[in-house]
């Protein structure tokens, strides 16, 4: 968060957590770690983090009693910042400008999601910079984790946070092993013949030229040749005076009469 609002934010956050959970006395409202292994793992993440605990139980590594915890400026090489947390622990860092925040995000492992809190508008330059200049599995504005609840929104990570996507069409595609099928007519004409041996220096030069300047499919080549032939045909009709303005007007009149007869 921006250092101009960090003190006010952390104070408000501490007040809100205390009001919600009363330092753990409202146990019925506290979420639970899924099993003992992950409960103990989260407790150990609070050991040697090198930051300042704003909220939480500082003795959690010893007594295994974890509470919602907020850690200000933990060490980047601590287990808290190296491992995925998946627990009630929130590391907080401050920044002076948006460029510094973007640099920080790009310095660590690519996250499962980047959450931006601020003015929700594509005209917001800070929002656009964070969206465009960071890499993550998802990007959310003014909310957290709700993209996972949308069955049509592809969910997944990137790099260190995971590969692939689930949900909706993307989930179906990820679980499908598609087979490529290509049906084509063999053409024994130039330039298609240059892909066959012998690969003479002249053929190699042609192949490089085609790959760099004519990256078209066979169907695209067909279409281009068809329109080229059509253009040449009309050009020949005009140059040979087989097609004139007078003949075009006559053809137009005949077409109009044919249309009138069809309507009748």
Please give the Cα distance from 69 to 58 (Å, whole number): 9
The reported pLDDT for the residue numbered 45 is: 92
In this prediction, residue 28 has a pLDDT band, given cuts at 50, 70 and 90, of low
Torsion of CA 249, 255, 256, 262, to 10 degrees: 170
Mean pLDDT of 200-229: 82
Residue of higher predicted confidence among 38 and 258:
38
Q: Which CATH architecture has domain 6-174?
A: 3-Layer(aba) Sandwich (3.40)
Extents of the domains making up the chain: 6-174, 192-263
Long-range contacts of 40-45 (CB under 8 A, 24+ apart): 40/64, 41/87, 42/66, 42/85, 42/86, 42/87, 42/88, 42/89, 44/79, 45/79, 45/80, 45/83, 45/85, 45/87, 45/89
pLDDT tens track for 39-49:
999 999 998 89
Locate 205 and state its tokens. 């030069």
Answer whether 33's CB lies under 8 Å from 85's CB. no
Q: What is the pLDDT of residue 100?
A: 95
List phi, psi (to 5°) of 55. Answer: -140, 145
* Per-residue pLDDT tens digits for 50-83: 999 999 888 888 888 888 999 999 999 999 998 8
Mean pLDDT of 150-159: 85
> Mean pLDDT lowest for which of 29-38, 78-87, 207-216?
207-216
State the Cα–Cα distance between residues 72 and 7, nearest whole angstrom.
Answer: 11
């Amino acid at each position: 968060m921006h250092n101009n609002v960090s003190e006010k934010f952390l104070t408000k956050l501490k007040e809100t957590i205390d009001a919600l959970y009363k330092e753990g006395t409202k146990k019925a409202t506290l979420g639970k770690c899924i099993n003992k292994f992950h409960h103990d793992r989260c407790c150990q993440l609070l050991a040697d983090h090198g930051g300042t605990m704003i909220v939480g139980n500082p003795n959690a590594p010893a007594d295994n009693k974890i509470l919602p915890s907020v850690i200000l400026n933990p060490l980047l090489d601590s287990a808290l910042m190296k491992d995925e947390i998946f627990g009630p622990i929130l590391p907080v860092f401050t920044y002076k400008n948006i460029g510094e925040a973007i640099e920080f995000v790009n310095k660590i492992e690519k996250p499962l999601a980047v959450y931006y809190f601020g003015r929700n508008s594509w005209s917001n330059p800070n929002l656009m910079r964070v969206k465009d200049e960071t890499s993550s599995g998802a990007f959310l504005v003014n909310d957290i984790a709700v993209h996972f609840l949308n069955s049509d929104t592809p969910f997944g990570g990137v790099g260190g946070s995971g590969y692939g996507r689930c949900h909706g069409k993307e989930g179906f595609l990820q679980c499908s092993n598609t087979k490529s099928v290509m049906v084509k007519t063999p053409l024994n004409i130039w330039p298609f013949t240059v892909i066959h041996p012998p690969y003479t220096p002249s053929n190699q030069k042609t192949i490089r030229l085609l790959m760099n300047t004519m990256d078209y499919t066979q169907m695209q080549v067909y279409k281009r040749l068809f329109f080229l032939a059509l253009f040449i045909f009309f050009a020949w009709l005009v140059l040979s005076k087989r097609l004139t303005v007078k003949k075009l007007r006559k053809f137009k009149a005949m077409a109009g009469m044919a249309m009138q007869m069809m309507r009748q």
